[in-house]
């Protein structure tokens, strides 16, 4: 797969019928039927993945892309999955959440020998239940997952009417530590990642989720990063209807607008798209909606450093004064950055800079889209009088808390330096 854009849903050409999913910035792996078995072929190999226009990373993945293609099958299917190892080291594949014979579980050393370089192994099992699953290596896991090896696995219900939705989106969350100006992740990083991705893409490279008004929508999310991600949708409340353990019974669901997806977990959320608009959809950790940046910068809010800046500019003509009013300026400033590096916060909307990066996209709910049309419908046209507006007259007096008695005192504080944590 050479394109970073979402492939149209792959309707099953044979086997049991089902309503296919769509993979954000990804695709579904075709199969062949052989003597009642559904045969898939994954090739583990180094890939190049464009994370957003302007930056491409050297990753490892499957069949030309990271994450690998989505595998779709149906409850009851007998699947045979060939795995060819074209990596420079051995690997395996573990089928996360699938109930299968122990020897098919893919844990190198424990349930099978690792797949040597250049060899092909076969996994065979029957899909006992429908749901939301994933696949990833269980061999040199730290390195192989830090390099982007993972993929989505959806098992559709045998009865297509069960849990039926109109649009079913899937993506995996992964994180990378790629120094500005470079292209290969630092695989030993444990916590300080600088690129928080959905399907190894960052905003503004992540597909929009185009939805027809009135559609029942499911979004399935899996987390293979090293931390949890509270995933937040604007404009709607939703319910978690499935996990990697199975479907959640109706009586056990509750309404949410944010659902935390912990490490190694998957969540399927559902809502009925009755409110048109461009609704932000993102991780609620504010550092996870940013792209790579140096985090070792002091807080400059309230510091007047114009005098110092003039002196520095004699030595460094390109020096930029920034941060004393906050950092929003960076959303539009044209600061020189190294090649193959994305701005920390970026993206342009109909009203100006969006000032985002990382795990951010937009659910675009529109009237009258065609049934399987996932193309970007453009920006929302707001009905007259429904957009927040500038107040032309004098602002009415607001109540404010009385200032503290010592509010006028100037505090002389040495600012603590250093910020190394997310």
Name which of 90 and 282 has its Cβ closer to Cu ion. 282
Binding flag, residue 283, Cu ion (CB under 5 A): yes
Binding flag, residue 287, Cu ion (CB under 5 A): no
Binding residue for Cu ion, selected from 288, 343, 362, 363, defined by CB under 5 A: 288
Name which of 63 and 265 has its Cβ closer to Cu ion. 265
Count the site residues for Cu ion by CB under 5 A: 4
Q: Build a one-symbol-per-residue string for 175-214: x at contacts with Cu ion by CB under 5 A, - elsewhere.
A: ----------------------------------------
CA atoms of 142 and 155, how far apart (whole Å): 27
Name which of 220 and 288 has its Cβ closer to Cu ion. 288
Binding flag, residue 93, Cu ion (CB under 5 A): no
The window from 119-127, 228-236, 365-373, 406-414 that contacts Cu ion (CB under 5 A) reads: 228-236
Contact 184, 165 (CB under 8 A): no
The window from 140-148, 256-264, 280-288, 331-339 that contacts Cu ion (CB under 5 A) reads: 280-288
Name which of 213 and 285 has its Cβ closer to Cu ion. 285
Q: How far is the CB of 284 from Cu ion (least distance, A)?
A: 7
Q: How far is the CB of 223 from Cu ion (least distance, A)?
A: 9
The window from 185-193, 211-219, 286-294, 329-337 that contacts Cu ion (CB under 5 A) reads: 286-294
Name which of 283 and 363 has its Cβ closer to Cu ion. 283
Name which of 267 and 288 has its Cβ closer to Cu ion. 288
Name which of 163 and 261 has its Cβ closer to Cu ion. 261
Instruction: List the interface residues with Cu ion, window 322-341 (CB under 5 A).
Output: none
Q: How far is the CB of 282 from Cu ion (least distance, A)?
A: 8
Structure-token pair, residue 183: 């292209």
Contact 282, 257 (CB under 8 A): no
Binding flag, residue 229, Cu ion (CB under 5 A): yes
Name which of 120 and 258 has its Cβ closer to Cu ion. 258
Binding flag, residue 285, Cu ion (CB under 5 A): yes
How far is residue 226 CA from its own chain's centroid? 13
Look at residues 137, 133, 136, 121 and name the one whose alpha carbon lies nearest to residue 77.
133
Q: How far is the CB of 265 from Cu ion (least distance, A)?
A: 13
Q: How far is the CB of 156 from Cu ion (least distance, A)?
A: 28
Residues binding Cu ion (CB under 5 A): 229, 283, 285, 288
């Amino acid at each position: 797969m050479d394109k970073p854009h979402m492939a149209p849903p792959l309707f099953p050409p044979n086997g049991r019928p089902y309503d296919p999913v769509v993979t954000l910035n990804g695709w579904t792996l075709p199969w062949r039927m052989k003597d009642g078995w559904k045969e898939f072929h994954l090739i583990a190999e180094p890939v190049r993945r464009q994370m957003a226009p302007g930056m491409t990373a050297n990753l490892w993945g499957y069949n030309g892309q990271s994450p690998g293609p989505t595998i779709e099958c149906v409850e009851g299917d007998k699947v045979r999955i060939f795995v060819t190892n074209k990596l420079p080291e051995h690997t395996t594949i573990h089928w996360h959440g699938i109930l299968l014979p122990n020897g098919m579980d893919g844990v190198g050393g424990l349930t099978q020998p690792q797949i040597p370089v250049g060899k092909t192994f076969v996994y065979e099992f029957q899909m006992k239940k429908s749901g939301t699953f994933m696949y990833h290596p269980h061999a040199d896991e730290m390195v192989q997952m830090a390099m982007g090896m993972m993929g989505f696995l959806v098992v559709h219900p045998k009865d297509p009417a069960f849990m039926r939705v109109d649009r079913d989106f899937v993506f995996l969350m992964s994180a990378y530590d790629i120094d500005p100006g470079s292209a290969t992740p630092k695989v030993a990083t444990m916590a300080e990642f600088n690129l928080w991705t959905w399907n190894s893409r960052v905003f503004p490279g992540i597909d929009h989720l185009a939805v027809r008004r009135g559609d029942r929508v499911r979004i399935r999310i899996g987390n293979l990063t090293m931390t949890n991600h509270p995933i937040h949708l604007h404009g709607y409340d939703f319910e978690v209807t499935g996990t990697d353990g199975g479907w959640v019974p109706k009586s056990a669901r509750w309404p949410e607008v944010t659902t935390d997806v912990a490490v190694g977990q998957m969540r399927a959320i559902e809502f009925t798209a009755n409110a048109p608009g461009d609704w932000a959809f993102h991780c609620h950790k504010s550092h996870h909606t940013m792209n790579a940046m140096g985090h070792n910068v002091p807080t400059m809010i309230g510091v007047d450093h114009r005098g110092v800046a003039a002196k520095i500019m004699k030595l460094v003509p390109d020096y930029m004064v920034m941060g004393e009013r906050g950092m929003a300026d960076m959303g539009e400033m044209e600061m020189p950055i190294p090649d193959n590096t994305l701005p920390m916060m970026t993206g342009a909307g109909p009203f100006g800079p969006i000032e985002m990066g990382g795990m951010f996209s937009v659910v675009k709910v529109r009237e009258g889209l065609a049934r399987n049309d996932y193309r970007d419908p453009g920006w929302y046209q707001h009905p007259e009088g429904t957009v927040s507006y500038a107040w032309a007259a004098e602002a009415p007096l607001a109540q404010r808390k009385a200032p503290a008695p010592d509010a006028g005192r100037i505090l002389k504080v040495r600012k603590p330096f250093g910020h190394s944590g997310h």
